[in-house]
Chain A
Amino acid sequence: MLYREAGDFKTSYAADAQTFPLAFDRWGYWVLLALAALVVPFVVNDYWANALLIPFLIYAIAALGLNILTGYCGQVSLGTGGFMAVGAYSSYKLMTAFPWMDMVSVTLLSGLVTAGVGLLFGLPSLRIKGFYLAVATLAAQFFLVWLFNRVPWFYNYSASGQISAPERELFGLVLTGPNAASAVQYLFCLAIVIALAWFARNLTRGTVGRKWMAIRDMDIAAEIIGVNPLRAKLSAFAISSFFVGISGALFFTIYLGAVEVNSAFGIQKSFLILFMVIIGGLGSIFGSFAGAAFLVLLPVVLKLVGVDLLGWPTTIVAHLQLVVVGGLIIFFLVVEPHGLAQLWRLTKEKLRLWPFPH
């Protein structure tokens, strides 16, 4: 079957506005979903689930969140790590204060708490832009990490200053804690990712998405067509933080199980997510996934090839990784600001026309 739109005519505006306008893409998407939900959990082993799939899914949520704020609404943030920490500590406090609460509610509530905090830290964006806003979010990052380190209430006065996730079940299956099966954890994350990606896609193709992009492309013109800049920016901060908070909650409850705020949610995390969004593609849902996949895969592939295959020392490979990421960031910022998503789009455009390039 060729990749074509011939014969794929739209008869309503609703059909024309759908996410995958080409039947081929739609089928590909459903097949991928079926594989991810029905096949992968039964064949994957613990190593691949824990080293690749679960972090990929969790980072994809954070990347979606940051992409809403930066890629769609044009507001730079270096506070992603700090907001992930808000999600993580919210889930910890909720789990320990209300032991009966199910994990779906814990996760969603953690997102909501983070949305509120994000709203608060978004207030300066009304007055300051670009570089200065980036610095303000950086301040938020350091403040939040400091807060979770210094106020013992957040880690329930534990001697180590760490937080660790108690065991919780969902539908009779252990989901958190050391006894959890990674296939169960994977499925839980997958379900949340699918729901959130669908949510983000709907937002960005509709009214609020247009408001965000209008602010991003030209805030003066946005205001002249009736966009209230205050509400548009704050909604972007809130929704973005909701995603980032959920990501942080899962990072703690599912992926790590125990967390020390500096190492898990420090400034490096903010940059990691930002790089995912830049490499994957600013202003693209698909790009958020591509960027997360790329940066989760990169160290694993480099280790496989460099250390296991070629026998290089681990330190060299670790440095090589920094060089590769740095080079790619420069490449994408200079050559292709819309990232992997745009490369993918161009390939598809070529495919549609193939074999007649004009």
Chain B
Amino acid sequence: MNAHTDSFTTDDGRTIGGTVLDLRNITLRFGGVEAIKNISFDIREGEIRAIIGPNGAGKSSMLNVISGFYVPQEGEVWFRGEKRPQMRPYQVAQQGVARTFQNIALFEGMSVLDNVMCGRLGYMSSNILTQGLWWGRAAREETENRESVERVIDFLEIQAIRKTPVGRLPYGLKKRVELARALAAEPKLLLLDEPMAGMNVEEKEDMSRFILDVNDEFGTTIALIEHDMGVVMDLSDRVVVMDYGRKIGDGTPDEVRSNQEVIDAYLGVAHD
């Protein structure tokens, strides 16, 4: 399999570059269950790549493999041109992969601001002693990173809830704060697991707009799991379709939509 090294410009003027992430023949088993069966696909720089499929298809498991949570029994993960050795999730994060979860995973005891500041941990390296003395580099880092966090907060329009404890927020806003935390890390690859699940139409529209803006303004590469086909077709450049752990389709939204196997998989499943 050859990674893309060329780049091109889309109709709406965004640049899609070479391969950022290349998954090669990934197989993941839980005991007897094969959650992912020999799947390969790539994600190119600057694109929005959707992963779709019925419930239990293995989409979340795929993201968990990418972020180092699950170690596949077979296959290779290539990140930015290098084969990735087995890594702990925090090491994957330090390489520039950020994500959100299907079930929100925020720090409930902390304020919105502190949650988003957590996204900047990779940029803060002062030692404990200078932090305790609030001295030199520690104090400087705090202010500098606060500035970039405030830009993310402005961008996602959550200024008003900055100091609110996350536990008090409604569901839709929590999803947005989780996106803010991931964005604050300025990731090279952003993984979003059903960012719009459980939202009303208006919240979905807001979230779609944010995702497009992130991709457009910062050129962030995004892999996105989503059930809402309308949203997927609108947002994504390319789509991977999974069913029972297999890849049954891969291509532009139009190509995927006309693929017979994909149509069958979706017709055979009750779907929201």
Contact = CB atoms under 8 A, between A and B. Distances in A.
Given A203-B131, A206-B131, A207-B138, A224 B143 contact: no
Contacts of B4: none
A213 B114 contact: yes
Contact of A225 (B134, B138, B185): B185
A210 interface: yes
Given A218-B107, A224-B105, A227-B90, A210 B141 contact: no
B106 A216 contact: no
Taking residues whose C-beta sits less than 8 angstroms from the other chain, chain B's interface range is: 35 or more
Nearest to B95: A226
B93 A210 contact: no
Given A214-B107, A218-B105, A17 B146 contact: yes
B124 A224 contact: no
B61 to A, nearest CB: 15
Interface string A218-248: 1011111111110000010001000000000
Contacts of A258: none
Interface of B: 67, 69, 88-90, 93-94, 98-99, 101, 105-110, 114, 117-119, 121-122, 124, 126, 128, 131-134, 138-139, 141-143, 146-147, 150, 181-182, 185
B106 A221 contact: yes
6 contacts: A14-B142, A17-B143, A202-B134, A206-B138, A207-B131, A225-B98
Nearest to A283: B109
Given A202-B132, A207-B138, A225-B93, A216 B114 contact: no
B109 A206 contact: no
A14 B142 CA distance: 8
A17 B134 CA distance: 12
A208 B131 contact: yes
B interface majority secondary structure = helix
B109 A210 contact: no
B121 A226 contact: yes
A13 interface: yes
What 5 A-B pairs are tightest by C-beta distance, nearest first?
A226-B93, A221-B105, A217-B107, A202-B134, A13-B146
A235 B124 CA distance: 16
A30 interface: no
A153 interface: no
A199 B124 CA distance: 18
A206 B142 contact: yes
Nearest to B146: A13
Contacts of B147: 13
Nearest to B107: A217
A168 interface: no
Contact of B109 (A199, A213, A224): A213
A303 interface: no
A220 B105 contact: yes
Interface string A321-345: 0000000000000000000000000
Contact of A216 (B88, B109, B128, B133): B109
A17 B105 CA distance: 25
Given A223-B88, A224-B99, A14 B114 contact: no
A206 B89 CA distance: 23
A223 B92 CA distance: 10
A222 B109 CA distance: 13
A247 B56 CA distance: 54
A121 to B, nearest CB: 19
Interface string A42-54: 0000000000000
